[in-house]
Amino acid sequence: MAVDTVLWSRLVTGLTLGFHVIFATLGVGIPLMIAIAEFIGIRKKDPHYILMAKRWSRGFVISVAVGVVTGTAISLQLALVWPNFMKLAGNVIALPLFMEVFAFFFEAIFLGIYLYTWDRFKNPYIHWLLTIPVVAGAGMSAVFITTVNGFMNQPEGFVMQAGQFTAVNPVQAMLNTATFSKVFHVLSSAYLTGAALLAGIAALAMLKRGVSAYHKKGLNLMMAVVLVFSLLNTLAGDVSAKFLAEHQPEKLAAAEWHFETESGADLILLGWLNAEHEIIGALHLPKLLSFLAFGDFNAEVTGLNEFPPDEQPPLLVHYLFDLMAGIGFALLAISSLYFLFVLWKKRNPLNKWLLGLVALSAPLAFLAVEMGWFYAEIGRQPWIIRGYMRVEEAATSSPSVRILFFVFLLLYIVLGVICVLVLKRLFNNNPAELEMEKWLQAKQDKTAANTENGGHA
């Protein structure tokens, strides 16, 4: 029975986090895009960009609602589903958890102000300034919560004595060796995903209703952000891989199906394992794993066989890793291609195929975020605090956790469906071009004739 409740505890947490991460990523990524759009709009005096910021923030609020709700769920579930973990680790991770809530508090206050003060200030930059605490609060809460995850992967800043953490240094625990690469990767992928989503929406709108000035500007702007953060994200992934190779070799080895320790190790893409753990049908890139891990084609990479069998992560993580990395490179390729077409005048960057690819990159980006988190979390099995506490010691002993899985599953299905329906209703009946026209009309009525600049569908 005990093992059973552990499995259900993991499923409940995986479900909640898997759902929350979609909205958490939006929560971190979108505010920056809103801030950029509003700034450009004020700077260029271009109402298209202002409208963009308005429409994005309107949709953003819906996702924030779901994010707040699921975030509340996970913060309570930490203590409810993993009471023994919190009892032990609470002594070390309470500080970043506390600070995360502070950052979120800060963001919540200014988001409320931002949303309700459009047109309230004479100087438009004052309203724009409100985005800074929102972007900073969102980013900081991601940073703090990621340090907690970093600690669980790379526990530091304490001494273990008689089953208790003593001589605790909470700041050292926050700034553990895993923190930098994790924070870098989490932030860059959140901004990348936010931009990919907005670019994808613009592309989809143009595929459906034809090219419009509003969506063209939105697409250009967001593809530029996608390009920048794809590059940064690739770099972040590389930093993470090098961190793993040095500090958590079993996780990297499991992801790469690298069983024997050897120098000049091959990078293995896809493929499958037969009953004897031999790799079949995979693409081998000679010596590339050594290069990825240590920046040296002949470096020695620790193999999975060095670790006792009950400390090896499941081998399934290989696919999660490949999928995540593959999508990362695909996004980089798509955004590069787009700007190649923009610069190379003979080609049309708004052709159907490229728009289709851009539209596709939005769901792909979310898929990559999910795959990345599942890889990071499953790849740390069997530990909850790597090297100190195994998941079966941490889970609740209550058998009710099994029923709760289904309760929460139902809840998230309902939340997801409502969220999609609300967003659809919000935007489908009110296309940007129409809103732009109405808005300009209203302005025209107010002040004497002003030249109308674009905005027709």
Partner 1 sequence: MSFEIAGIAILWTFLFGYLIVASIDFGAGFFSFYSILTGHENKIHNIIQRYLSPVWEVTNVFLIFFVVGLVGFYPDSAFYYGTALLVPGSLAIVLLAIRGVYYAYNTYGNHGKNSRIYLALYGATGLLIPAVFSTILAISEGGIIEQVGEKVFFRWREFLTNPYTWSVVLLALVSVLYISAMFLSYYAKRAGDEPAFGVLREYALLWSLPTIFASFLAFLQINKQNPAHFERMVDMSWMFIASFICFVIAVSLVWKEKYLGWCFIAVMLQFAFAWYGYGRSHLPYILYPYINIYDSFTNRTMGIALITAFSLGLLVLIPSLVLIMKLFLFDANYVRGNAGKKKG
Residue pair 342/349 in contact (Cβ under 8 Å)? The answer is yes
Distance of CA 366 to the CA centre of its chain: 7
Q: How far is the CB of 170 from partner 1 (least distance, A)?
A: 5
Pairwise CA distance, residues 332 & 196, whole Å = 11
Please report the beta strands in 73-116, taking only residues with DSSP state E, as ranges in sequence order: none
Q: Is 443 in the site for partner 1 (CB under 8 A)?
A: no
3-state secondary structure of 74: helix
Applying CB under 8 A, the site for partner 1 has a residue count of 78
Buried b (16+ CB within 10 A) or exposed e, 203-229: bbbbbeeeebbbbbbbbbbbbbbbbeb
Which of 14, 18, 90, 271 binds partner 1 (CB under 8 A)? It is: 90
Pattern 388-427, partner 1, x by CB under 8 A: --------xxx-xx--x--xx--x---x--xx-xxx-xx-
**What x/- string results for residues 348 through 377 when contact with partner 1 is judged by CB under 8 A?**
------------------------------
Q: Looking at beta carbons only, is 305 or 398 nearer to partner 1?
A: 398
Q: Does 40 bind partner 1 (CB under 8 A)?
A: no
Q: How far is CA 381 from the centre of its chain?
A: 21
**Is the dihedral angle over the CA atoms 345, 346, 347, 351 positive or is it negative?**
positive
Contact between 298 and partner 1 by CB under 8 A: the answer reads no
Residue 438 interacting with partner 1 (CB under 8 A):
no
Comparison of 68 and 273: residue with beta carbon closer to partner 1: 68
CA distance 212 to 454: 9
Q: How far is the CB of 63 from partner 1 (least distance, A)?
A: 9
Do the beta carbons of residue 269 and residue 282 sit within 8 Å? yes
- Tell me which residues in 324-343 interact with partner 1 (CB under 8 A): none
Subset of 169-208 contacting partner 1 (CB under 8 A): 169-171
Sequence letter at residue 18: G
- d(C-alpha 188, C-alpha 191), whole Å: 5
CB of 168 to partner 1, least distance (A): 5
Q: Which of 7, 11, 42, 95 is in the footprint of partner 1 by CB under 8 A?
A: 95
In terms of CB distance, is 109 or 340 closer to partner 1? 109
Q: Which of 28, 51, 111, 205 binds partner 1 (CB under 8 A)?
A: 111
Window of 60-68, 184-192, 267-275, 289-297 that interacts with partner 1 by CB under 8 A: 60-68
Kindly state the smallest distance separating residue 156's Cβ from partner 1, in Å.
14
Residue owning tokens 């990479």: 301
Stretch that binds partner 1, among 21-29, 55-63, 221-229, 294-302 (CB under 8 A): 55-63
Q: Give the containing element (helix H, strand E) for 123.
A: none
Residues 174 and 100 sit within 8 Å (Cβ to Cβ)? no
12/182 Cα distance (integer angstroms): 24
The stretch among 42-50, 162-170, 203-211, 278-286 that binds partner 1 (CB under 8 A) is 162-170
Work out how close the CB of 101 gets to partner 1 at its nearest, in angstroms, rounded to a whole number: 5
Residue in 380, 395, 392, 371 with CA at minimum distance from that of residue 307: 380
Q: How far is the CB of 62 from partner 1 (least distance, A)?
A: 5
Q: Tokens 């004595």 label which residue?
A: 161
